[in-house]
Every structure is written in C-alpha cells, then in structure tokens.
Amino acid sequence: MSLQDDLVALESARKNVGGKQCRIAEILAQLNAKDAAALNHLLDETQVFGTQIAETLTKNGHHTRGANVQHHRRRVKGGGCNCPLPNAAS
C-alpha cells in the first residue's frame, strides 16, 4: 500500500457518519473477506485476549494495541468505539 492509499484511507475514515473509525475498523476495511471474517469471529470470542489479537495483527503488518481491540469490543456494551454493531440495520 502506498502513502497515497493510506492518506486516502484517512480521508475516508473521517467521513464515517458515526464518527471517526476506530483502528480495528480501519484494519477490517483493509483485510480480504476471509481474514475479516476470522478477525470478527475472534473479536466476539472473549476467551482470546485483546493483546493476543493485537500482537497477531501487528505481526501481520497491521499495527495496533490490545487497548484498541478492547475499545472496539466494548461497542456492544456502550462506552466503546462508534463502529456499528455486526448485522446492525443500516
């Protein structure tokens, strides 16, 4: 991915209706469908620590922290990121 692609992605993230996308949403948007589905599955799996997910994402070129994962996970309970819930009506 080029610098221009990254800058365009930042512009797109700013236009998110619910507010700025969180880091996990940015990563999900960059992944192919198979990888995104696997990540979404793990995000819902509470037996996997956020730090483990973050380390795996970072190892594969998507730098993030465990705190970002936990913040995204809290969208279900409120007080987390502005990302829509999975299967939420548009």
39 φ/ψ angles, rounded to the nearest 5 degrees: -65, -45
Prediction pTM value: 0.69
Exposed, middle or buried by CB within 10 Å (0-12, 13-18, 19+), for 56? middle
- Based on the structure, what is the number of domains in the chain? 1
Please state, in angstroms and rounded to a whole number, the distance separating the CA atoms of residues 83 and 86: 9
Q: Is residue 14 situated within a structural domain?
A: no
Q: Is residue 6 situated within a structural domain?
A: no
Domain extent for 31: 22-76
R_g of the chain, CA atoms, integer Å: 13
pLDDT of residue 90: 43
Q: Is residue 87 situated within a structural domain?
A: no
pLDDT 10s digits, 43-81: 988 899 999 999 999 999 999 999 999 988 887 665 667
Q: Is residue 66 situated within a structural domain?
A: yes
